[in-house]
Structure 1
Amino acid sequence: MSTTSTVSPLAAATAAAALVPAEVPLTAVPSADVPPADAPAVVAAVVGRVAVELAVVLGPQVARTLADGVDGAALDPADALRPALQAAAGTLGDGVLEPARLTTAGLVLGPDSEVVALRGAGQTLAWFVLRTRPGAAPAAPRPDLPTQRGAALRALYDVELTLTAEIGRTRLPLREVLDLTPGTVLELDRAAGSPADVVVNGRLVARGEVVVVDEDFAVRITEIVSAPDAH
């Protein structure tokens, strides 16, 4: 199996391995071993200078870890493995990771696929797959900006923008706003656990999960929103 020489499947697999939910740390290891065709897999396409699909194929132990979930609540494989695919995509250079979807290994593997074993505790617990997207061509490189325009843009690089994270919104008539008191509970238009919106100047640019860093709230970006979806 082979794919474009402009990317490194092992580097992408190494980045993904660190974020695959498993009971033991995983290490990316080149291997001729391939997963069973009916094994569950989470796949997402990368749109950018390279046109590839990235996938993590689950071995039984990793699949069981996701099924056991947190406090008995099963984890959605596409959501749980998206950070791993995002990390892998980050090794490929410029590009945007499309939404992840659940499928099977047989629909991911092909003649243009590279498979890397993800091993832990002396055994293969999952597989990382990188393959050229069928029928897709890499995005054409953007022409260089004229010198003056490029210099003008560079002058703006240090301009600070205010990013706002929104966990939800609600609408209230003025009389209810005036009646707000400490202890009032406002129901938002978003379910608990849904990603927060990251907004710049009123425009949605990304989504992410709320985390805590050194006792302060933070947002871990999980999705970059393209212009047509930024509303």
Structure 2
Amino acid sequence: MTTLTTARGAAEQLAAQIPSAVPLTVAEPTPGAAPAAGASCVRAHFVGATSADLMVVADEVIADAIAAAGGDVSAAEILRPALEAAASNLGAGVLDTARVDVLGDAFGDADTEVFALVDATGTARAWFAMRVRAAAPAPAAPGHVDAASERSRMRVLHDVELVLTAEIGRTRLPMRQVLDLVPGTVLELDRSAGAPADVMVNGRLVARGEVVVIDEDYGIRISEIVATDGGH
């Protein structure tokens, strides 16, 4: 898979998760139409088999979401789920803390893949860019894997902290209903009462378990490990 294909897939994942009042699709940028160097941008670094810098310029489309939050959240927090979705296209790894920064000349870097996120009229409403920092070497042919080397490489990652989240269910709402949420609103999720919760790492399902209470705090008792595509 080429860097361009990977970056476009990441852009499509991100576009689907941005809390925009209008649907966004991925398009090639029009020459000369990139955001200004002084534009506000949210950046995050992904470390994994493929390491990359992810950048999003989306102040216009997330303005309603920030307003609905009452100013208590930043653009980085609003865009975090979208960045996690984009990072999921890069394989296993860890997404660093997202931060708000000035775009500068990042979109002009020859190694950076840039995409416009456009509305139904083709107007660019937001931007996504990805710069690959490093890629892991291709795996050896079956039967020639050096197990000792593999364990040595993995040992480097043993102390990397991963963020695990427990998800009891999901629902989808149009933006107008999200903006109308008030204390006391009841949302119906897509899961029955008593069903196991999903345990996620960077948006990927790794296990399922039962919600328990431990000294007045919630916990998860793992009941099932979900096999990855690699069968590990």
TM-score (norm 1): 0.57
Q: Which residue of 1 is the match for residue 116 of structure 2?
A: 117
> Residues 6 and 127 of structure 1: is their aligned pair in 2 closer, same or farther, counting only changes over 3 Å?
closer
Contact 2:45–2:53 (8 Å) recurs in 1: yes
Contact 2:45–2:95 (8 Å) recurs in 1: yes
> Residues 210 and 50 of structure 1: is their aligned pair in 2 closer, same or farther, counting only changes over 3 Å?
closer
Q: Which residue of 1 is the match for residue 135 of structure 2?
A: 138
CA offset digits 1:38-61 (Å, max 9, x no partner): 2221111121222211111114x2
Deviation at 1:210, TM superposition (A): 5.2
Query: Would you say 1:24 and 2:22 are equivalent positions?
Result: yes
| Aligned equivalents of 2:5, 2:116: Cα separation in 1 | 17
CA offset digits 1:159-190 (Å, max 9, x no partner): xxxxxxxxxxxxxxxxxxxxxxxxxxxxxxxx
Moved more, 137-146 or 39-48: 137-146
Unaligned runs of 5+ in 1: 151-203, 225-231
Q: How many residues of Structure 1 are paired with residues of Structure 2 in the alignment? A: 163
> Residues 127 and 6 of structure 1: is their aligned pair in 2 closer, same or farther, counting only changes over 3 Å?
closer
Contact 1:43–1:102 (8 Å) recurs in 2: yes
Alignment of 1:1-231 (within 5 A): 5=3, 7-32=5-30, 33-59=33-59, 61-70=60-69, 72-106=70-104, 108-109=106-107, 110-122=109-121, 123-133=123-133, 137-139=134-136, 206-208=163-165, 212=169, 213-216=190-193, 218=197, 221=200, 223=202
Contact 1:209–1:222 (8 Å) recurs in 2: no
> Residues 222 and 67 of structure 1: is their aligned pair in 2 closer, same or farther, counting only changes over 3 Å?
farther
| Aligned equivalents of 2:105, 2:168: Cα separation in 1 | 34
> Residues 211 and 55 of structure 1: is their aligned pair in 2 closer, same or farther, counting only changes over 3 Å?
farther
| Aligned equivalents of 2:11, 2:142: Cα separation in 1 | 34
* Aligned partner of residue 125 in structure 1, secondary structure: strand
What amino acid does structure 2 have at the position aligned with 1:65?
D
RMSD of aligned C-alpha atoms? 3.3
Deviation at 1:126, TM superposition (A): 0.6
> Which protein is bigger by CA-based radius of gyration?
1
CA offset digits 1:106-152 (Å, max 9, x no partner): 2643232111011124221110101133xxx43456779989x98xx
| Aligned equivalents of 1:219, 1:103: Cα separation in 2 | 33
> Residues 105 and 143 of structure 1: is their aligned pair in 2 closer, same or farther, counting only changes over 3 Å?
same
| Aligned equivalents of 1:222, 1:73: Cα separation in 2 | 28
Deviation at 1:13, TM superposition (A): 0.5
| Aligned equivalents of 2:18, 2:104: Cα separation in 1 | 20
> Residues 39 and 223 of structure 1: is their aligned pair in 2 closer, same or farther, counting only changes over 3 Å?
same
Deviation at 1:34, TM superposition (A): 1.4
What amino acid does structure 2 have at the position aligned with 1:42?
V
The percent identity for this pair of structures is 33
Contact 2:66–2:78 (8 Å) recurs in 1: no
> Residues 94 and 65 of structure 1: is their aligned pair in 2 closer, same or farther, counting only changes over 3 Å?
same
